[in-house]
Amino acid sequence: MKQGVVMKVYDSHAVVLAENEYVKIKLKTGLQQGQEIFFAADDIYYGAVQRRDNLMKIRRFAAVAAVFVLLVTGGFFFAQEDYATLVMVDINPSVQLELDEDEIVTGYEALNDDAKTLGLEVVIGMKVDEAVEYIISEADAHDFIDLEDLDDDYVLIATVSDDGDVEECLREAALENEVLGKVNIAIAKATRDELEEALGAKVPLGLIVSGKFAEFEEDMSVQEFFDNEELRAEFEQAGFVIKEDFGHKVDRVNAHLQQQEMNQEQKGELIADFNQVKEQFAEAKQLCEQTKERYQEALKSGDEEAIQETKKAMEEAELNKDKLEADSVDVDKIKNGIRQNLQNKLEKNELDEIMDQVQSNIRERNKVQNKVNKTDSEEVNLLEDNGVKPDNQNSSDTEETQNQNQVQNQVNSEKNGSGA
């Protein structure tokens, strides 16, 4: 005989909370929410109980049956589409996720042996970003990747019949989610044909999309693919990459820099420089979020002027953030330098030279940043005199300079406003 309190009365049964357990019981007269009752084992209701896996089995069965029918009648296509979008996640391991219209995982499949070692059942019911985060963490826990070493980690995601919601979901999640921020997420859209091709050749779908299939060697891993600059560029034409959080990259590199045997002073300076870059980036990122929020508020209010203003501020903040991210070129240089040094590919002095070069680059950029604050166009020419190459945004353009001023002022007023 058990005791429980009635949580809810439905048409066919009721749910009670009984001694730390939620239980379904049969209906009897007078049953009310809040009633504290005795009930026995034979009062338990076993009606249409669908645990997560039962549901999946039923769907699987239906899908297989439907395919069989189709093969017989001719024509092969995914008839029993009980999913809205198909998502292939490749790190190695390779996992296929089936999503419904709300980007919730309704089914999964481990596509290679490595994937089978992950405990994937729990992804059912998760939203796609949660599921991807889980797969990444499991891959890390099982040592398929190391999120903190010097190798850049790529997670390749290909979607079939996605109307952009999956991409959107992942983009947003990557901004806030710690785990997703530790990797580079490469996303590409694929067609059904490409999916079949990939499955047939046992090649990650996302790599097919880049159109470089011919050059792809069967054993090439996702990492190796993206290490190759040409292949990566090709991919970025067909899809896009959500980059690893810059702050995390700096931390990774600094951690390894710390372990390098080199001039302590120089080491300390480099680490400090990178930390400063990281802080600036974090501030820029925060500014982006703030301007975005204000823009959304303006949209709600419907005030045209406010909308224009806040939109402009938001776009400027984005530009500023991207510019800072360009600094990551130096972080990459150091990272690759250390990597190669570890593999004994460098001459003794080469790493020192790289470090010196990077330090002077950072110094120059800081000088430039200070000079750019002055509106004097002569100062802009000084840029070129010092042999510092303007970055992508061609900062010798005075209009651009004024924009940068505005952004710098905004950054400053943000600082003051927040009393930082």
Select from 11, 178, 230, 305 the one that contacts another protein (CB under 8 A): 178
* Cα radius of gyration (the chain): 28
> Which residue spans within 81-238 are E strands per DSSP?
85-90, 94-99, 105-110, 154-160, 184-190
Residue 138 is a binding residue for another protein (CB under 8 A): yes
Reported as type and span, the H/E element at residue 15 is strand 13-18
Q: In whole angstroms, what is the distance from residue 390 CA to residue 366 CA?
A: 13
Which listed range, 124-132, 156-164, 352-360, 361-369, lies at the site for another protein (CB under 8 A)? 124-132
Residue 119 is a binding residue for another protein (CB under 8 A): yes
Q: In whole angstroms, what is the distance from residue 247 CA to residue 241 CA?
A: 17
The amino acid present at 119, given as its one-letter code, is G
- In whole angstroms, what separates CA 108 from the centre of its chain? 20
Residue 98 is a binding residue for another protein (CB under 8 A): no
- In whole angstroms, what separates CA 119 from the centre of its chain? 21
> Between residues 114 and 400, which has the closer beta carbon with respect to another protein?
114
Q: Which two tokens stand for residue 225?
A: 């693919």
Residue 22 is a binding residue for another protein (CB under 8 A): yes
Nearest to 92 by CA among 150, 52, 151: 151
Q: How far is the CB of 21 from another protein (least distance, A)?
A: 7
Q: How far is the CB of 132 from another protein (least distance, A)?
A: 13
Residue 10 is a binding residue for another protein (CB under 8 A): yes
> Between residues 43 and 234, which has the closer beta carbon with respect to another protein?
43
> Between residues 66 and 110, which has the closer beta carbon with respect to another protein?
110
Which listed range, 43-51, 74-82, 265-273, 388-396, lies at the site for another protein (CB under 8 A)? 43-51
Residue 392 is a binding residue for another protein (CB under 8 A): no
> Between residues 120 and 317, which has the closer beta carbon with respect to another protein?
120
Which listed range, 23-31, 240-248, 274-282, 341-349, lies at the site for another protein (CB under 8 A)? 23-31
Reported as type and span, the H/E element at residue 399 is helix 398-417
Which listed range, 21-29, 84-92, 287-295, 318-326, lies at the site for another protein (CB under 8 A)? 21-29
Q: How far is CA 103 from CA 50, 188, 338, 387, in A?
A: 21, 16, 40, 50
CB atoms within 10 A of CB 163: 12
Residue 208 is a binding residue for another protein (CB under 8 A): no
> Between residues 125 and 268, which has the closer beta carbon with respect to another protein?
125
Residue 147 is a binding residue for another protein (CB under 8 A): no
Residue 32 is a binding residue for another protein (CB under 8 A): yes
Q: How far is the CB of 3 from another protein (least distance, A)?
A: 6
Q: How far is the CB of 134 from another protein (least distance, A)?
A: 7
- What angle do the packed helices 246-258 and 328-342 form, to 10 degrees? 40
Query: Can you tell me whether residue 186 is helix, strand or coil?
Result: strand
Let me know if 246 is exposed, middle or buried by CB neighbors in 10 A (0-12, 13-18, 19+): buried
Residue 3 is a binding residue for another protein (CB under 8 A): yes
Residue 37 is a binding residue for another protein (CB under 8 A): yes
Q: In whole angstroms, what is the distance from residue 299 CA to residue 387 CA?
A: 44
- Phi, psi (5° rounding) for residue 160? -115, 125
Q: In whole angstroms, what is the distance from residue 240 CA to residue 221 CA?
A: 18
Residue 103 is a binding residue for another protein (CB under 8 A): no
> Between residues 18 and 338, which has the closer beta carbon with respect to another protein?
18
Q: How many chain residues touch another protein (CB under 8 A)? A: 47
Residue 58 is a binding residue for another protein (CB under 8 A): no
- Phi, psi (5° rounding) for residue 243? -75, 155
Residue 110 is a binding residue for another protein (CB under 8 A): no
> Between residues 11 and 219, which has the closer beta carbon with respect to another protein?
11
Nearest to 197 by CA among 208, 186, 188: 208
Residue 122 is a binding residue for another protein (CB under 8 A): yes
Residue 134 is a binding residue for another protein (CB under 8 A): yes
Q: Which two tokens stand for residue 178?
A: 């710690």
Taking the alpha carbons at both ends of the chain, their separation in whole angstroms is 63
Q: Which residues bind another protein (CB under 8 A)?
A: 1, 3-8, 10, 15, 17-25, 28-40, 43, 49-52, 119, 122, 125-126, 130, 133-134, 137-138, 178-179
